Amino acid sequence: MDDKDRLYQFGMGENFHAQHYFGAHPKGEGYQFRVWAPNARDIAVIGDFTNWTAQPFSLEKNEAGVWEGVIPEAKTGQLYKYLVTRHNGQQVEKLDPFAYYLEDRPSTAAILRPFSEHKWKDGLWMGRRKRFGFKKRPVTIYEVHASSWKKGMTFKDLTRELIPYLAKMNYTHVEFMPLMAHPLGASWGYQLMGYFAFEHTYGTPEEFQEFVDTCHQHNIGVIVDWVPGHFTQNDDALAYFDGTPTFEYQDSDRAKNVRWGALNFDLGKNQVQSFLISSALFWVEHYHIDGIRVDAVSNMLYRDYDEGPWTPNVYGGNRNLEGYDFLRRLNGIMKDRHPDVMMIAEESTAATPITKDLEEDGLGFDYKWNMGWMNDILRFYESDPIYRQYDFNLVTFSFMYCFNERFVLPFSHDEVVHGKKSLMHKMWGDRYNQFAGLRNLLAYQICHPGKKLLFMGSEFGQFLEWKCDHQLEWQNLSEEDQLNQKMQDFTSHLNQFYKNHKALWQNDETYDGLEIIDADNTAETVLSFIRKDDKGDILVCVFNMTPVERQNFTIGVPYAGIYEEVLNTEMETFGGVWKEHNPQMRTQAHQWKNYQNTLSFTLPALGASIWKIKRKLKK
């Protein structure tokens, strides 16, 4: 494809590798520059090669509103910016929207450097990913903020320390909060300025490529958060780039994001679609990432989602028609080119089908964060057990809709910050009971249908809530009572347990993989259900939500046989008080609800007990 075709397709919203045309690229002995700014009065390049503002190099504008020119004096490693003369004569220095490299914060100059090609060694992983996909595979995600897992680390350090930790903890995937360039660390990366630039605080693009490559060699997938709905309003970034609405909406009410102090992309503009879809494909293709979590989907779907004034669409409704069409198009293009890449939506409403196929008028995402489940279950586990019998529906309601969409069950960063307390601190009771509650909670998450996500620090029961400018409380692991260390060991064991049992993930999208035994035992506040794999092998999952041990506890089971307990969250090695598992138990031929067989055992206080059939018996 020649430059004329690339330019035409950009204007039509069809150039999905726009970074090859725009930005700065080697040309002869210098560099060629291109930037889209249709309403600018003039654009010049300033940088090390022009003595900055002393000798700006003016670009020429073509018929499509793109300014371009070749600067022979520009050399690799030098810094540059665009000096934009807006339509009103105001001059402002702007970063290059298509830059691959930016200098350290708070400066925003781009660095002249071609994107280096990595010699990938992950062919085996990529082949398996293409062959097996992810829907009938175990997915348990460790969510990480790159600069606060351990303070001051770059991805070179994380390759050395985080990857062995992920392997030790038996996670299948790691998910990073946004790694694209952002001007303020306190935004956690959710107000971006560089959609192709790697955040320099975290190291270099090459270090991140090496990190992903090494993850794949250790059978760990990598997911990255991406923010196509809104961007930072800083004047040296994308905001009103040429002095008029360029990347943002023409309507100031729609352009302004009151809630987050940001600007919303005009998702109906062809050039913006080319820009954003190019960014998504760039991260998938140049970094080999295995999934994209699209942030704040509700903000792109509904005109009234924000706190500011809004106007109805042409049909009188609140749907953002442009945002809806953009998300469908994004997923269609991604799935056409990379069907084995996981597309995940962070979305908090139920008004739009998120994971239904495009042909069924859905958005075409693979998964949606189950925010309703997360809010209900945390509210339940925060409550005093004496009152839980009255709120048991908070635990059981999700079984009514758990297959309406394909879900990820998230305990994410949003739930352990801004005064919400850490996951462990949310739990009821003294220190011992808080850890018991947390083990119970994570076991429930593992057994409930849906993929799993846990934010860093929760795996070992960190007590203090997360702060983006502090590292995790790793010193907790050396506490004298060893409860944090045992919690960490439990999470590692639980993740491996999940991977080892196909019943927990192989049939994860229909009621064929789930059978409720008893969701009505509010008096004892005990929930029991069965998970099944494709061959009909089962796990019997029983959860005691109160700190009362239930001896000779009885439930119905579908098969006569000898059952063995394969997980008990109250084992001493995990921080509990049980020294031995329940003994193997033989079923009794008794009627119990719709079951012809019963299983009786001791149910640990505030504990989970999971059973499988060791040997089936004839009735």
CATH assignment of the domain containing 546: 2.60.40.1180
**What is the residue-wise DSSP string for 214-231?**
HHHHTT-EEEEEE--SEE
Per-residue model confidence (pLDDT) at position 442: 98
Domain assignment present for residue 80? The answer is: yes
> Does 261 fall in a domain?
no
Q: What is the CA radius of gyration of the chain?
A: 27
Tokens 């991805």 belong to which residue? 155
Among the candidates 81, 112, 143, a domain finishes at 112
Q: Is 374 helix (H, G, I), strand (E, B) or coil?
A: helix
Assigned domain for 99 exists: yes
Give mean pLDDT in consecutive 10-residue pieces for the chain, a chain of 619 residues: 90 96 96 97 96 90 96 96 93 97 92 91 97 95 97 96 98 98 93 96 96 98 98 96 96 94 97 98 98 97 92 96 98 98 94 95 97 97 97 97 97 95 97 98 98 98 95 93 96 98 96 97 98 95 98 97 98 97 97 96 98 89
Tell me, what's the pLDDT at 502?
98
The answer to whether the beta carbons of residues 515 and 529 sit under 8 Å apart is: yes
Q: Which long-range contacts (CB under 8 A, 24 or more apart) does 557-560 make?
A: 557/517, 557/530, 557/587, 557/595, 557/597, 557/598, 557/599, 558/515, 558/530, 558/595, 558/597, 559/587, 559/597, 559/613, 559/616, 560/587, 560/589, 560/596, 560/597, 560/616, 560/617, 560/618, 560/619
Active site residue 236: no
Residue 22 located in a structural domain: yes
DSSP H/E element including 554? strand 550-557
The SS3 call for residue 436 is helix
- Residue 515 in any domain: the answer is yes
Tell me, what DSSP letter sits at residue 107? -
Q: How many other CB atoms sit within 10 Å of the CB of residue 207?
A: 17
| Residue 26 resides in a domain | yes
Known catalytic residue: 346? yes
pTM equals: 0.97
* Cβ-Cβ contacts under 8 Å for 469 (sequence gap 6 or more): 148, 185, 186
Q: CA end-to-end span of the chain, whole Å?
A: 71
Final residue belonging to a domain, choices 96, 112, 128: 112
Edge-to-edge order in the sheet of strand 230-232:
230-232, 262-264, 256-257
For residue 28, the enclosing domain spans 3-112
> How is 454-476 classified by DSSP, letter by letter?
EETTGGGT--SPP-TTS---GGG
Nearest to 331 by CA among 281, 285, 286: 281
The predicted structure's pLDDT at residue 2:
86
The DSSP annotation for 556-608 comes to EESS-EEEEEEEETTBGGGTSSBSSPPPPEE-B---BTTBSEEEEEEEPTT-E
CATH number of domain containing 28: 2.60.40.10
CB atoms within 10 A of CB 263: 25
Contact 42, 58 (CB under 8 A): yes
Q: Which of 242, 346, 347, 533 is catalytic?
A: 346
Three-state DSSP at 505 gives coil
Whether 17 is in a domain gets the answer yes
The answer to whether residue 472 sits within a structural domain is no
**Backbone phi, then psi, for 515, in 5-degree steps?**
-140, 120
Question: What pLDDT score was predicted for residue 328?
Answer: 98
Among residues 112, 127, 162, which one ends one of the domains? 112
Burial grade of 514 (CB within 10 A; 0-12, 13-18, 19 or more): buried
CA distance 419 to 15: 44
Q: Please tell me the distance from the alpha carbon of residue 442 to that of residue 351, in angstroms, as a whole number.
A: 29
Q: Out of 248, 295, 306, 570, which one is annotated catalytic?
A: 295
Domains: count for the chain: 2
